[in-house]
Amino acid sequence: MRSPLGVLGEGVRRHGLPLAVLIGLVILWEGWVRLFHVDPHELPAPSRILGAFHEQGNLYVDNTWRTLQETAIGFAVAVLTGLFFAFVIDATALLRRAVYPLLIGSQTIPIIAIAPLLIIRLGFGLAPKIVIIVLYCFFPIVVSTVDGLRAAEPEMLNLLRAMGASRWQLLRVARIPAAMPGIFSGVKIAATYAVTGAVVSEWLGGSKGLGVSMIRAQKSFAPDKVFAAVFIVMLLTLMLFLIIDLVARLLMPWYTATRKEYSE
């Protein structure tokens, strides 16, 4: 297994170019606002947004910590429940045919429409926020896991069956390793939804968090403070995504090596 430092160094090399592009866009943004004297109430410059961080740093730290707590708990629950339901659905073909279409159909329901009902039922505490985050993250985890478990090579499964492998041995030796790339793809997608789910839940009912910061800044006509909260949300999302990517590279060195070989 590769060392975490080696994987981290490779990740820095891989993400160096996107970071450089982002810095370039921020510089262009600052130059555009200053050159054309754009009204800061329409589009604040990055320097003005940085000033908002400096002005209300402690408040942002406090609200970020609350959103991070909600995101971490909700995302962990979503991963555990998503994997559990995926393995249950995969257990029998009948259950898969009965539940899988309903799972897909459930995604046509806008979560923001049912979120107030959850708050009415569960209150304004942590519980409705976790449920909303789970609803945002649940679908990609389940679908990617179910599809991944069916990605094992039939020849490998037939060979193991011929050798007398049990159902659990088939799952452990062939199906789960084959499903891991798909599982991590779904978890990465869910990671991009997790912080959004936390912010939406705070919009609909909360006393603290980045979503609450955005609402208060909007009502105060302070777009620089809104953008500051948005950038923190982006950073939290990227941080969570990169952590999942790092875990995937540590647990699937063979897959990472294969992808690197084909990309060269």
Domain boundaries, the chain: 57-259
Neighbours of 234 (CB within 10 A): 12
Which pLDDT belongs to residue 257? Answer: 60
Mean pLDDT over each residue of the chain, to the nearest integer: 83
Q: In the predicted model, what is the mean pLDDT of residues 76-81?
A: 95
Q: State both tokens at 18.
A: 């996107």
Which pLDDT belongs to residue 122? Answer: 81
> pLDDT tens digits for 47-60?
888 888 888 878 88
Rounded to whole angstroms, what are the CA distances from 246 to 6, 18, 239, 243? 10, 17, 10, 5
| Residues 111 and 135: beta-carbon distance below 8 Å | yes
CATH of domain 57-259: 1.10.3720.10
Measured distance CA(26)–CA(227) in Å, rounded:
13
Which pLDDT belongs to residue 256? Answer: 63
Lowest mean pLDDT among 7-21, 119-133, 217-231: 7-21
Alpha-carbon dihedral angle through residues 208, 209, 213, 214, given to the nearest 10 degrees: -130
Sequence-ordered list of residues with C-beta below 8 angstroms from that of 90, at least 6 positions apart, any chain: 96, 145, 146, 149, 150
Q: State both tokens at 93.
A: 């073909």
Neighbours of 230 (CB within 10 A): 17
Q: What angle do CA 184, 185, 188 make, to 5 degrees?
A: 80
Which pLDDT belongs to residue 236? Answer: 92
Q: In the predicted model, what is the mean pLDDT of residues 178-187?
A: 91
Which pLDDT belongs to residue 99? Answer: 80
